[in-house]
Amino acid sequence: MIRLEKKGRNPFIVYGEEKSIEEQLRRNILLTTVDAMLKWSRRNSLWPLPLGLACCAIEMMGAFFARYDMARFGFEVFRFSPRQADLMIVAGTVTRKMAPIVKRLYDQMSEPKWVIAMGACAMAGGPYNSYAVVQGVDNLIPVDVYVPGCPPRPESLIYGIMKLREKIKQEREAKIL
């Protein structure tokens, strides 16, 4: 969030500065280059699984079409099968009836995998504080980036994915399994 960054708070710095040599040695020296290579390739071609549930799905589609054209970043390959995707974009209201399906889709994705919660409903239940709605998809699956808005603009989603890229870059070691 730019407002927070201006105030000297970058919420996206997940890990602190590296401090000691011992700490660096603890990391796998042999694999560091491979690590960097893996992270580079992973963050530059994220294949999203578009879980378009409600209004946000339309803005997500908007992000993939002519004006905002996410193909510019290598994110354009919509994979409706979870086995081929590594980024799940939960766009819309997750209801109690839909919750087991969301969980199952997440479980079916192969590692490494990331999740973006797009829009207020997916983040925290949004305007629907009711008996039928799961209050935030993070009750079901771990979420990496939250993109506020109702619905967010396509730019907001692209910004969120850029932040996810930063986050992948910061990861200590690329998960091999």
Partner 1 sequence: MKREFEKDTGVKTDIIELNMGPQHPSTHGVMRIILELDGEVIVKATPVIGYLHRGTEKIAENRAYYQVVPYTDRLDYLSPMSNELGYVMAVEKLLGVEVPLRAQYIRVILAELARIASHLVWLGSNANDIGAVTVFLYAFREREKIYDLLEAISGQRMNNAFLKIGGLAGDLPEGWIDGVRKFIKEFPEKLKDPDGLLTKNRIWRERTEGIGIIPRDLAIDLSLTGPPLRASGVERDLRKDTPYLVYDELEFDIPVETAGDVYARYLVRMEEMRQSVRIIEQAIEKLPGGPVLIDDYKIVPPPKDKVYRDIPELIHHFKLISEGFHPPEGEVYFAVEAPKGELGYYIVSDGSNKPYRLRIRPPSFVNLQALEYILPGHLIADAVAIIGSLDPVFGEVDR
Partner 2 sequence: MIGPLIKGLTITFKYIFKKKFTVQYPEERRELPPRAKWLHILQRHEDGKERCVACMLCASACPTEAIYIVGEENDLENPISHGERYAKVWDLDLGRCMFCGYCVEACPEEALAMTDEYELAVPTRKDLVLHKEDLLVEPGTPPVKTWLGFYRKEPIGAMPVTRPMEVHVEYEEYLKRRGPREAHE
User: Using CB under 8 A, which of 46, 89, 116, 133 touches partner 1?
Assistant: 133
User: Using CB under 8 A, which of 54, 70, 87, 118 touches partner 1?
Assistant: 54
CB count within 10 Å of CB 109 equals: 21
Site residues for partner 2, 75-114, by CB under 8 A, read: none
Q: Which residue is listed with tokens 């997750």? A: 94
Q: Token digits for 73?
A: 């970043």
Q: Which residue is listed with tokens 């969980």? A: 103
Rounded to whole angstroms, the Cα distance separating 31 from 34 reads 5
Rounded to whole angstroms, the Cα distance separating 165 from 157 reads 12
User: Using CB under 8 A, which of 38, 51, 147, 157 touches partner 1?
Assistant: 51
Residue with smaller CB distance to partner 2, 32 or 170: 170
Residue with smaller CB distance to partner 2, 21 or 66: 66
As measured in angstroms, the least distance from the Cβ of 93 to partner 2 is: 12
